[in-house]
Amino acid sequence: MNRLVLIISVFAAIAGIVTVTTVVMVRDESVAAPQLSKEQRATREKFFGAPKDPAPIEKGQEMRPRW
């Protein structure tokens, strides 16, 4: 019984450490998003166009696709 409790405790500790490590790594990756320089932003806007708001929905126009 003592050995079983020890094995379960070790596995629980390993699972906890792995979980904490995964959360820390994922959080660091999302925060470290690099900012575009002015030159990169200008090139992106030239290629893709400046970000615009979508056109307003006209009266009677449907939002669902026509299949």
pLDDT in tens, 13-53: 999 999 999 988 887 665 555 788 889 888 888 888 877 77
Instruction: Please tell me the predicted confidence (pLDDT) of residue 49.
Output: 82
* C-alpha span between 16 and 52 (Å, rounded): 45
Q: How confident is the model at residue 4 (pLDDT cuts 50, 70, 90)?
A: very high
CA dist., res. 55 & res. 16, Å (int):
49
pLDDT at 67: 67
Quickly list H helices, the chain.
2-31, 38-48
Residue in this structure with the two tokens 């806007």, named with its chain if needed: 45
Token pair for 2: 């003592």
Within the chain, what is the greatest distance between any pair of CA atoms?
74
**Domain residue ranges in the chain:** 2-45
